Amino acid sequence: MSSGMVYFVGAGPGDVDLITVKGKRALQQADVVIFDRLINPFLLTDVKDDAKLIYCGKQPCKHTLRQEDIQREILIHARKGKTVVRLKGGDPAVFGRVGEEAELLAEHQIDYEIIPGITAGIAATMYSGVPLTHRKHSNSFAIVTGHGSRDDGTPNINWNHLAKGVETIVFYMGVKHLKTITTELIKNGKAKETAALVVQWGTYSKQRTIEGSLATIANQVEQANITNPAIIVVGDVVKLRAKLAWFDNRALTGKSFLIPSKEEANKKLVASLTKQGADVFEHDLLTEESDHLKQEILQQLKLISSEHELVFLSSKSVSAFLKAIGEQGLDLREIYCPIFSIDEAVQSTLQMVGIQSRLVEEVHLTRPILVGGDIEVEDMKANFAGATKELILSTKKVAKKDMEAFTRLIDEQHVNTLLLTSCTEVSHFLKFLEITDVSKERVLEQVTVLCIGRDTSLLLKENKIPVDRYVEKADVTKIIKAFEKNLILAKES
């Protein structure tokens, strides 16, 4: 069998939009994705439903053994002819060991491409308002590891050359050894007043930045309890932050929203939340399946008679219905019964495909058939008195990649707010919990629940999900206000 293709892809430092277009395309095509601990897990929602995901949670200090396993995995899958993406945080070549991994592929004559990414040292500094070079302040920068091969983990660096030869220095993996780093730099000629900056979780909304000098930064960082992942920047350029800090301190800085389904109606809201500094993870956690229902659908379509009333529950149900008719080799004109829409939006969708319908509220229905996906039908059934029939066109499942992304977003604390903007979203979220066995308590322990609209809040209460923040409309100013209210909640601390 011909060997596959391996793409080494730089995922960027955190902000999901900082992956390259080329990298994203490779990710979407991958059969196998082998990903690191420091990538934003939301990127996984982009992969194919059936892609195999392999986590290689490299922990600091546990490189050696793991590295062999990773290389073996890449080889195994490439040899099976698969398209493999090796997804690495930041840039694959900056402390990312792409050299070793690609070398092995070259030895085995397996094709590969390396797609660069934005490295944390460049992105996190710029998101803190610090450009690495500046005509007046710095003509050079160096990227240096703060973790080294010595027994105590301190880096093996020619401190004298570093301190005297470069104007801006960026250390990776160095927080643990910050005291050693600053002491050595001072000892070797850098003034102790030289500005220094530490940025944790750079480019995420939860980015934290501590600014000081070589003399003070180690203590400041210890007090602020800043741990990895963080970079350290040393040099005069750090002072520019006073003018250029564009990312911090926006109204929603530090907030990260999970919206469990993607709806066109939320487009403006998502853009505004992001503009105000929040991370927004908006994704359909549920995927539709319809192939397994084909037989059943055919039988039900054949049973529709002129005495029935077909009720379309959503615009999607209209297209799914037409698709089913076509796939089954039937003709729409054979369906003789009157047609109804649940609301005006559905009515206009039907009109666009040449079907005139009446709104359900205008008539008393006697033999309705509810047309839609399983959740829609389940949710709507109670509104129709008497005997209803159902034409279920799809059921929901949770794709493995979405489960992986969701679990990691929660477990790695990338999400602190669950945003529910409609009853549909609530139903989808509840269905997600039901299908996956994810504990509702576990999720609620970590997130603040922000709800939009009265009906949404009633449905949440009915399902014993406490609403922590409430706004009437999808209005970003109101959302900001809702967070300002002095309702101090333990889990938000």
Q: How far is the CB of 12 from ligand SAH (least distance, A)?
A: 8
Task: Verify binding: residue 231, ligand SAH, rule CB under 6 A.
Answer: yes
CA angle in degrees (0–180, nearest 5) for 34-38-42: 75
Q: How far is the CB of 59 from ligand SAH (least distance, A)?
A: 11
Q: Which of 141, 201, 281, 432 binds ligand SAH (CB under 6 A)?
A: 201
Task: Verify binding: residue 13, ligand SAH, rule CB under 6 A.
Answer: yes
Q: How far apart are CA 413 and CA 492, in angstroms?
A: 12
For 401-416, letters b (16+ CB in 10 Å) and e give: bbbbbbebbbeeebbb
List the beta strands (DSSP E) in 5-75.
5-10, 32-35, 52-55
Angle between helices 454-462 and 423-436 (to 10 degrees): 30
Q: Which of 4, 14, 129, 373 binds ligand SAH (CB under 6 A)?
A: 14
Q: Which of 27, 105, 120, 259 binds ligand SAH (CB under 6 A)?
A: 120
In this structure, the chain runs to a length of 493
Sequence-separated (6 or more) residues with CB below 8 Å from residue 242: 129
Q: Which is nearer to ligand SAH, 88 or 308 (CB)?
A: 88
Q: How far is the CB of 15 from ligand SAH (least distance, A)?
A: 9
Q: Which of 95, 141, 247, 257 binds ligand SAH (CB under 6 A)?
A: 95
Task: Verify binding: residue 91, ligand SAH, rule CB under 6 A.
Answer: yes
Applying CB under 6 A, the span of 16-24, 93-101, 243-251, 301-309 interacting with ligand SAH comes to 93-101
Task: Verify binding: residue 199, ligand SAH, rule CB under 6 A.
Answer: yes
Applying CB under 6 A, the span of 157-165, 195-203, 255-263, 445-453 interacting with ligand SAH comes to 195-203
Q: Which is nearer to ligand SAH, 47 or 231 (CB)?
A: 231
- Cβ(301)–Cβ(270) under 8 Å? no
Q: Which is nearer to ligand SAH, 14 or 373 (CB)?
A: 14
Q: Which is nearer to ligand SAH, 75 or 173 (CB)?
A: 173
- Cβ(11)–Cβ(117) under 8 Å? yes
Applying CB under 6 A, the span of 159-167, 229-237, 256-264, 323-331 interacting with ligand SAH comes to 229-237
| Residue number of the CB atom closest to ligand SAH | 90
For 216-251, letters b (16+ CB in 10 Å) and e give: ebbebbeeeebebbbbbbbbebbebbeeeeebeeeb
Sheet with 417-420, edge to edge strand ranges: 279-282, 256-259, 417-420, 448-452, 469-471
- Kindly identify the residues of this chain, within the stretch 152-191, that bind ligand SAH according to CB under 6 A: 172-173
Task: Verify binding: residue 35, ligand SAH, rule CB under 6 A.
Answer: no
**Which residue do the tokens 């969708």 mark?**
349
What amino acid positions are annotated as catalytic residues? 36, 58, 173
**Which residue do the tokens 């080494």 mark?**
8
Task: Verify binding: residue 127, ligand SAH, rule CB under 6 A.
Answer: no
3-class state of residue 301 by DSSP: helix
Angle between helices 344-352 and 315-327 (to 10 degrees): 40
Q: Which is nearer to ligand SAH, 204 or 312 (CB)?
A: 204
Applying CB under 6 A, the span of 226-234, 241-249, 257-265, 447-455 interacting with ligand SAH comes to 226-234
Q: How far apart are CA 210 and CA 200, in angstroms?
A: 9
Applying CB under 6 A, the span of 23-31, 44-52, 82-90, 251-259 interacting with ligand SAH comes to 82-90
Q: How far apart are CA 116 and CA 97, in angstroms?
A: 13
Sheet with 32-35, edge to edge strand ranges: 52-55, 32-35, 83-88, 5-10, 111-115
Q: Site size for ligand SAH, by CB under 6 A? A: 23
Q: How far is the CB of 135 from ligand SAH (least distance, A)?
A: 26
Which residues of this chain interact with ligand SAH, rule CB under 6 A? 13-14, 38, 88-91, 94-96, 119-120, 124, 172-173, 199, 201-203, 228-231
